[in-house]
Amino acid sequence: MSSRSKKVAALILTAMMAVAALAGCAGSDSKSSSTSTPAPAASNTASTTEAKAVDLSDAETVTFIKGKLKEETKDGKIELVLWCSGDDLAFEKTLVKEFKEKFEGDGIEINIRTATKGEDEAGGAVIENAKKGGDVFSFADDQLTALRQNGAIAAVDKYYEISVKDENSEESVTVSSLGGKLCAFPKTSDNGCIMYYDKRVFDESDLESMDKMIGKAKAAGKNVYFNMGNAWYSTGFFFTAGCTIRYENKIQTAALGTPEGLSAAKAMAHICESQDNGFLGSPIWSGEYVSASDGFKFGKLAAAVTGTWDGPAIRKAIGEENTGACKLPTVLMDGEQKQLHSFGGYKLIGVNAYSEYPFAAQTLAYFLSSKDSQLRRYENRGLIPTNKEAASDEKAKNDPAFKAIEDQRPYSHPQGASVGAVYWASGVGTIGGDLAAAKGKISDDDLMAKLKGVEANCRQA
């Protein structure tokens, strides 16, 4: 947008009057699964109609926003709580400081307490007790439906809605929407796993299959790491085999006690036969090893299946010039090499429907998910942007991890449509964990019994 167009847009926005209360993302047709929290009162927010664009670098736009923030102050103050993961805490605090510098003053004091709450549990915590939850929180996209059903998440304010839709990738906007409403701010596009590897050990041709990688790692006196006991990773084998795993209308289906499920388990068993001999299927985090990056640093690992959140530490451990990233390899299944699948998705930022400062919370969420914040989050944390301009940055675009995420995406499955809490509690993770501990030596009959047990646990919940 030209500077003149931005100016015109800013003048239009400044002249707009606030209308309509901000509704929670739960529509009148949603069915809440919890009655412990009463419905929120109508929020006195600054929703505006026909908003065209928000430019946080434009002085008149900032003046307009500050005017709306001032209407929300209580005794001149705004008090917010921001939840984010422990890994992100230090970085997010730097963004909070900049947010305060931009919007404080002119009779506005902004206090933001930043607290640790994992993205895997934030949604559930807000649903359990929304009034004590963070005003703004980061969460994995599979939690959005439950947040909506329980009326715990606010729809994106109309003032920011068009900008969020225009600035972010189409898929990330779709994932952030329910029932025709934009319910969250896209944050990162890398909620999935890829393979990090040491270029000094592997040639590109070695990356084609898990068997090749294990053989090459063994020859180098190192290992390939894949956490078999963590269902978030090992479920990829079941997807690869074609097992039906769905979560619809709060009903979990996991057809694992089937020939396809057994094929997946036997493929895992085949890999686990190399446990401690070119392959590690369980964490080694003890003593000097506290993370996957330490495995690289101390020469234990030559490759690891993990997420982009580990990328910066791995690069630091073995050097950026030695660090490669690629999609997951193929695995031997039913006598054929088959591409390994995975979970994949997005991290989002939500606004608590019960926030006492709804427009301030919306503004903080937009600031944290803006182009500049996403680009800096990539530079500092290695997390892949959803913002189209940030993702087209030369460094981000050429990052091997970025390419690996995109190469894996056709084989990735959305968590929200696949699994609910009952799946994680079904014991599915113990199958891979037991195989790693037994170095793959578990009979087909015992594997089938375990698979049927998981299936029954899901069905009976």
Q: What is the CATH number of the domain that holds 237?
A: 3.40.190.10
Q: What is the pLDDT along the chain (461 residues), one digit of tens a residue?
A: 443 343 334 333 333 333 333 344 644 333 333 333 444 544 444 444 445 689 999 999 999 999 999 999 999 999 999 999 998 999 999 999 999 999 999 899 999 999 999 998 999 999 999 999 999 999 999 899 889 989 999 999 999 999 999 999 999 999 999 988 999 999 999 889 999 999 999 999 999 999 999 999 999 999 999 999 999 999 999 999 999 999 888 899 999 999 999 999 999 999 999 999 999 999 887 777 778 999 999 999 999 999 998 999 999 999 999 999 999 999 999 999 999 999 998 999 999 999 999 999 999 999 999 999 999 999 998 899 999 999 999 888 888 998 999 899 999 998 878 888 899 999 999 999 999 999 999 999 999 999 999 999 998 85
CA atoms of 150 and 157, how far apart (whole Å): 19
CB 282 within 8 A of CB 295: no
Could you tell me the two tokens for 10? 């800013």
- Residue 393: inside a domain: no
Closest CA to 414 of 182, 241, 176, 229: 176
Determine whether 142 is exposed, middle or buried from the number of CB atoms within 10 Å of its CB (0-12, 13-18, 19+).
Answer: buried
Q: Name the one residue in this structure whose structure tokens are 């401690």.
A: 276
CA distance 25 to 51: 19
CB 48 within 8 A of CB 39: no
> What values do phi and psi take at 333, rounded to 5?
-145, 125
What Cα–Cα distance (Å) separates residue 15 from each residue in 124, 194, 344? 39, 48, 42
Please report whether residue 327 resides in a domain: yes
Residue 188 placed within a domain: no
Residues 67 and 128 in one domain: yes
Evaluate whether residue 203 is within a structural domain: yes
What distance lies between CA 79 and its chain's CA centroid? Answer: 26
Cα–Cα distance measured from residue 434 to residue 66, given in angstroms and rounded to the nearest whole number: 57
**Alpha helix stretches (DSSP H) within 369-443:** 371-381, 388-391, 394-397, 400-408, 415-418, 421-424, 428-437
Domain assignment of residue 394, yes or no = no
Q: Strand pairing of 177-178 and 245-248? A: unpaired
178 and 107 fall within a common domain: yes
Tokens of 444: 């087909």
Taking a C-beta distance cutoff of 8 angstroms, is the pair 168, 387 a contact?
Answer: yes
CA–CA dist 139, 350 (Å, integer): 7
Residues 134 and 271 in one domain: no
pLDDT score at 25 = 64
Q: Residue 375 — φ and ψ, nearest 5°? A: -65, -40
At 364, the amino acid letter reads L
Indicate whether 227 and 295 sit together in one domain: yes
- Same domain, residue pair 301 and 286: yes
Residue 339 and residue 351 in one domain: no
pLDDT at 355 (0 to 100): 97
Both 378 and 410 in one domain: the answer is no
Q: Specify the pLDDT at position 369.
A: 98
| Angular region, 276: left φ>0, alpha ψ -120 to 50, beta rest | left
Nearest-10 crossing angle of helices 89-103, 59-72: 100
With a threshold of 0.85, does the pTM exceed it?
A: no
| Partners of 331 in beta bridges | 338
Query: Within a domain: residue 396?
Result: no
Is residue 287 situated within a structural domain? yes
54 shares a domain with 135: yes
Q: Could you tell me the CA-to-CA distances from 411 to 53, 204, 292, 311, 418 in Å, in that order?
A: 35, 20, 24, 21, 14
CA separation for the pair 167, 142 (Å, rounded)? 22
Report pLDDT for 291. 86
Print the domain residue range for 274: 194-344+401-460
Overall domain count for the chain: 2
What distance in Å separates the CA atoms of residue 118 and residue 127, rounded to the nearest whole number? 14
One domain for residues 288 and 364: no
Closest by Cα among 278, 275, 276 to 223? 278
Say whether both 324 and 296 belong to one domain: yes
Place of tokens 């009463």: 38
CB atoms within 10 A of CB 79: 16
Q: Based on the domain organization, do 108 and 244 belong to the same domain? A: no
Residue whose structure tokens are 């003149």: 4
- Residue in 287, 427, 315 with CA at minimum distance from that of residue 380: 315
Within a domain: 9: yes
